[in-house]
Amino acid sequence: MFESLQMGKYAFYIWTSYGLTLVVLVANIIIPLSQERTLLRTLGRKLRRKRRDNNESKA
């Protein structure tokens, strides 16, 4: 079945195209995921600090 994937003398052009497409598509998924994670972590840290400050000022 995979013999048809040899692509003869065009293998370089075809597989570079498909490979590059895969890289770009995956990168576009990873970037927002990591952004969201960083953002949630930053916001969480801020919130905890605010709470702590509030508690201290009460005490």
Partner 1 sequence: MWAFLHKFSSPKYFYFLSGRLIPWFAWSCLAVMLVGLYYGLFEAPPDYQQGESYRIMFVHVPAAWMSMFIYMVMAVAGGIGLIWHIKLAEIMAASSAPIGASFTFLALVTGALWGKPMWGTWWVWDARLTAELILLFLYLGVIALNSAIEDKRTAARASGVLALVGVVNIPIIHYSVEWWNTLHQGASVTKLDAPSIHISMLIPLLLMAVAFKLYYATVVLMRARCEVLDRERNSSWVQDLISAK
The residues that touch partner 1, with contacts defined as CB under 8 A, are 1, 4-5, 7-10, 13-14, 16-18, 20-21, 24-25, 27-29, 31-33, 35-36, 39-40, 43-44, 47
CB-wise, 1 or 59, nearer to partner 1?
1
Q: How far is CA 13 from CA 9, 17, 19, in A?
A: 9, 6, 10
Q: How far is the CB of 56 from partner 1 (least distance, A)?
A: 18
Q: How far is the CB of 48 from partner 1 (least distance, A)?
A: 9
End-to-end CA distance of the chain: 73
- The single-letter DSSP state of residue 58 is H
